[in-house]
Amino acid sequence: MAALRTAVPLLALLGLCLGPAAAVTPLVIWHGMGDSCCNPVSMGYIQKLVEKKIPGIYVLSLKIGSNLIQDMENSFFMNVNDQVSEVCSQLATDPRLKGGYNAMGFSQGGQFLRAVAQRCPSPPMLNLISVGGQHQGVYGFPRCPGESSHICDWIRKTLDLGAYTKAVQEHLVQAEYWHDPLKEEDYRKNSIFLADINQERGINETYKKNLMALKKFVMVKFLNDTMVDPPISEWFGFYKSGQAKETIPLQETSLYKEDRLGLQEMDKAGKLVFLGVKGDHLHFSEEWFDSTILPFLQ
């Protein structure tokens, strides 16, 4: 008994010296167009992979809607601003995230999570990893998921006919980040999502402050991307205004030069990370993910 009484204070003292075990930062992931939160070959696979590599981590794969079908349909047809508001509510009411979280968005989920970072700073997003996100928008879908799908054909026709009409903007997700370099004024005036989060109509200092609070903003570009037009949008670049052939990197855009989002300051502070991976859109190996992405989550 005496030995046991002696051991207990020693163990307590040892615990004080070593401190509590470091908590694992939670991860929030958001899927892309035509996908769902828990698809076993996409988001479900990513969630299991992260949980396997980082024991004890809490991974929240975002679901917009009451079931997987609704989640997939909402990736096409639910107003993005409403989706972002819904996600902000989910994050704010999840007690496991109150200390902060890392975020990883796939394809359009990348720019949607950036909107969360800019609009909803509580709980705090620590690092944002955009995997193939289109931060300057798109001007075409060369290979929409489900190439033979009537949904993809309808989206193309609708965007060609009236991407910036009120009805299309409010009810077609892809129109809300459609960026026509030949109609820049229409884009700035009528884009209800992307033009707002990219500060095209004025400076929202809160957006800038919140984004700059990130520790790292990691952007992954697929070097053989046949879906995103132009692929450089994945690194925040885009077409030079007034034409749709020559592209310019982020550092040559007015967004960067005027530092409307704080990206220039973040770049100089080493907070922006530009990664390239060989392969088509969202095609990467587990080895690449382990060696390149996991370090930002640990």
| Tokens coding 248 | 């310019």
SS3 content of the chain, % helix, strand, coil (to 5): 45, 15, 40
Question: Is 135 annotated in the active site?
Answer: no
- Confidence (pLDDT) at 37: 95
pTM over 0.75, yes/no:
yes
pLDDT recorded at residue 13: 40
Q: What is the pLDDT of residue 144?
A: 64
Q: How far apart are CA 161 and CA 130, in angstroms?
A: 30
Q: Is 225 a catalytic residue?
A: yes
Residue 145, Cβ density class (10 Å: 0-12 exposed, 13-18 middle, ≥19 buried): middle
Contact of 128 with 113, CB cutoff 8 Å: yes
pLDDT of 142: 67
Cα first-last separation, the chain: 42
Low pLDDT (below 50) residues in the chain: 1-21, 147-148
Catalytic residue (choose from 35, 180, 196, 225): 225
Burial class, 66, CB count within 10 angstroms (exposed 0-12 / middle 13-18 / buried 19+) = exposed
Question: What class has domain 25-138+203-235+246-294?
Answer: alpha beta
Task: Select which of 31, 135, 179, 281 is catalytic.
Answer: 281
For residue 230, cis peptide bond before it (omega within 30 degrees of 0): yes
The whole-number pLDDT of residue 1 equals: 36
3-state secondary structure of 106: strand
Catalytic residue among 36, 42, 75, 107: 107
Please name the amino acid found at residue 12: A
